[in-house]
A and B are shown apart, each in its own frame.
Chain A
Amino acid sequence: MKGIVTVLGKDSVGIIAKICSYMSDKNVNVLDIAQTIVDGYFNMMMVVDLNASTEPLASMASELETLGRDIGVVVRFQHEDIFSAMHRI
C-alpha cells in the first residue's frame, strides 16, 4: 500500500527533513519526491511505501497535519488510490 504526502506552504529550511525523519520513525520508506517552488511557495509531493509501517494511515495523517502546522505549511497524507482513481483509467 502506498500513501501520498503533499506539502504546500511558504518555503523554509528543513521541511523535507522533518517529514522524512517522521517517516523514518514510523518505518515508512520514501519511494519518490517531487517538488516545485514558485514565488517562494513550496509545493512537494512524496510517494511512500506503507507496507512495513505499523501505524494506521488515518492517525499518521492527523499527526502529519499537526507537524505541518508547527512548521507553517499544510501537510496532507492520503491513500494513493484517491489520486489513481481520479487520474488513471
Chain B
Amino acid sequence: MITISEASETIRMISEANLDVRTITMGINLLDCADSDCAAFCRKIYDKIARRAERLSRVGEDISKEYGVPVINKRVSVTPIAIAAAGCRNCDYVEVARALDGAAEAVGVNFIGGFSALLQKGITPEDRALLHSIPSALAATERVCSSLNLGSTRSGINVDAVNISARAIKDIASMTSDRDSIGCAKFVVFCNAVEDNPFMAGAFHGVGEGESAINVGVSGPGVVKRAIEAARGADFETLCETVKRTAFKITRVGQLVAQEASRRLGVPFGVIDLSLAPTPAIGDSIAEILREMGLEQPGAPGSTAAIAILNDNVKKGGVMASSYVGGLSGAFIPVSEDRGMIEAVRAGALTMEKLEAMTCVCSVGIDMAAIPGDTPADTISGIILDEMAIGMVNGKTTAVRVIPVAGKTVGDTARFGGLLGEAPVMAVNGFGCSAFVGRGGRIPAPIHSFRN
C-alpha cells in the first residue's frame, strides 16, 4: 500500500515542481498515401491523420485528469514528406504543408512534425523541391514543423545541404519578420537524426518505424532541481545518485502514461524520450539545476561538466524505469524556453561558443538561440557545420535551431510567446568562413564509422 509520505512526494512534484508529461506524440506512416496526383495525395494524408489521431487529444486529456498529472502537448509526427510525396508528379509542397496543418487543426494538436528530408548523403529531386518550399510552407502554416538530417556518423556531412539549409533559415526569418522571425522556431537541422523523437521541431516518423507508434516525452527539470536542493554541499557521488533516483521516478510516470495512451488508442507503444525539457515557467529550468549544482550562472567554467553529469544520470535513472527508451533522451538546453538560460545570456555568462561546448555532452544542440538578423548565411552554415561535426565525430545526435531575428541585433530581445518564450539576441563570431563552407560537396565519414 502507498504511504502518505509517498503520496505527498508525488503530489508535490506535480503541484510545486512542475512535473508533467511534456508530449504524447503519435507517429503515423504516410507511405501508403502515395499518389501521382498531388491533390489526391493531400486528401489521403489529411484523411489518414484525421482518422488515426482522431482520439489522441481526448485520450491525452482523460489520462491527465484520471492520473492527476498534466499532459501538456499532444502531437503528431509523420513519415518525412520528401519520401512520402516522392510519387507525386509536380508536387506542390506548400499545399502538402497546408494539408498537414489542416489535419493537425482537425485533431486538435498544436504541432505536426515531418515536413522533412534525409539528406546526409545526397539530395533527390523531391528533396530539393521540398527544401525550396520550406520557407513558404512554414510561413503559410501554423502547426507544421520541418526538420532535415544533414549528416551522420556513417555518411559524413552533406555540406551542400548545410548551405541550402542556412539560406532557408535566412529566408524563413525574413518571411516571418513581422513576428520576430518565429518561423525559424519550427525548423531544425540534425546530424544523426533519430526516427522516434517525440519532441518538436524535430519529430518525424522514420521509415524504419511501423504503421503507427506512441512516443512520449517526459519532463521535470523542476523536480530534479528540488531533489538536489537536498544534496547541497554533498559530493558528486551523492549528487549523481540524487539525479538518477529522481529521473527514475519521473520516467515511471511517463512510462505509465505511454502505456495507457497506447492501450486506449490501440497504437503500439514506441519509446519514452528521457529528455529534461524546460519551459519558460519559473522553476522549470535546466539553468536552475546548474545553479543548484553550484555554478553562479550557466556558461561559467564547469558548465560543460555539469551538463555531462545531468545528461548521463538522467539516462542511467530513466533507462531502468522504461521498457523502451529512445528519441533524444538527455538534457535539452534551449535558450529561449528556459528563463535561467535567458538570464545567463543577459548577464553575459552564456555565449554561443560556450553553448556549443555544452552541446558536446547534452542531448541535442544549439537550440532556440536568437542571433543577429544580419548574420550572413555563410556564417550560419559555419555554425551548423561545427555542430554537425560534433555529432558526426562523437556518434551522437546534434541539432541547430537558430533564429536570425530580422531587424534585431545584440542587446535586443526576440519575443515568441507561449512555450517558445523569448530570447536575447546572442553575439556571433564575426570572422568569415565563406571560402570554407563555399567549398561545397560532402565531408567524408569519420574513421570510426567503419565498424563492420
How far does the alpha carbon of A31 sit from the alpha carbon of B12 in the complex, in Å? Answer: 24
Interface segment among B3-11, B105-113, B262-270, B439-447: the answer is: B3-11
Interface segment among B61-69, B87-95, B326-334, B412-420: the answer is: B61-69
Residues of B within 8 A of A82 (CB): 10, 67-69, 253, 256
Q: A61-B68, A76-B68, A81-B67 are in contact. Are A86 and B4 (CB under 8 A)?
A: no
B249 within 8 A of A: yes
B435 within 8 A of A: no
**How many residue pairs at the A-B interface have CB separations less than 8 Å?**
67
Contact present for B7 and A4 (CB under 8 Å): yes
B25 within 8 A of A: no
How far does the alpha carbon of A47 sit from the alpha carbon of B6 in the complex, in Å? Answer: 13
Contact present for A86 and B253 (CB under 8 Å): yes
Contact present for A85 and B256 (CB under 8 Å): yes
Give the Cβ gap from A17 to chain B, nearest Cβ, in Å: 19
Give the Cβ gap from A77 to chain B, nearest Cβ, in Å: 7
How far does the alpha carbon of A62 sit from the alpha carbon of B68 in the complex, in Å? Answer: 10
Number of interface residues of B (CB under 8 A): 21
Of residues 38 through 75 on chain A, the ones whose CB sits less than 8 Å from some CB of chain B are 43-45, 47, 57-58, 61-62
Q: Is the interface of A mostly helix, strand, loop or mixed?
A: strand
Q: Is the interface of B mostly helix, strand, loop or mixed?
A: helix
B316 within 8 A of A: no
Residues of A within 8 A of B256 (CB): 81-82, 85
Number of interface residues of A (CB under 8 A): 27
How far does the alpha carbon of A4 sit from the alpha carbon of B7 in the complex, in Å? Answer: 8
Q: A6-B11, A57-B66, A76-B68 are in contact. Are A83 and B6 (CB under 8 A)?
A: yes
Contact present for B8 and A43 (CB under 8 Å): yes
B255 within 8 A of A: yes
B347 within 8 A of A: no
How far does the alpha carbon of A45 sit from the alpha carbon of B252 in the complex, in Å? Answer: 21
Of residues 232 through 274 on chain B, the ones whose CB sits less than 8 Å from some CB of chain A are 249, 252-253, 255-256
How far does the alpha carbon of A86 sit from the alpha carbon of B68 in the complex, in Å? Answer: 13
How far does the alpha carbon of A83 sit from the alpha carbon of B7 in the complex, in Å? Answer: 6
A25 within 8 A of B: no
Question: Of all chain A residues, which has the CB nearest B6?
Answer: A87
How far does the alpha carbon of A76 sit from the alpha carbon of B2 in the complex, in Å? Answer: 15
How far does the alpha carbon of A86 sit from the alpha carbon of B11 in the complex, in Å? Answer: 11
Which listed residue (A45, A58, A85, A87) contacts B66, Cβ 8 A?
A58
Contact present for A58 and B2 (CB under 8 Å): no
Give the Cβ gap from A86 to chain B, nearest Cβ, in Å: 5
The 3 residue pairs across chains A and B that have the minimum distance between CB atoms = A78-B68, A58-B65, A85-B256
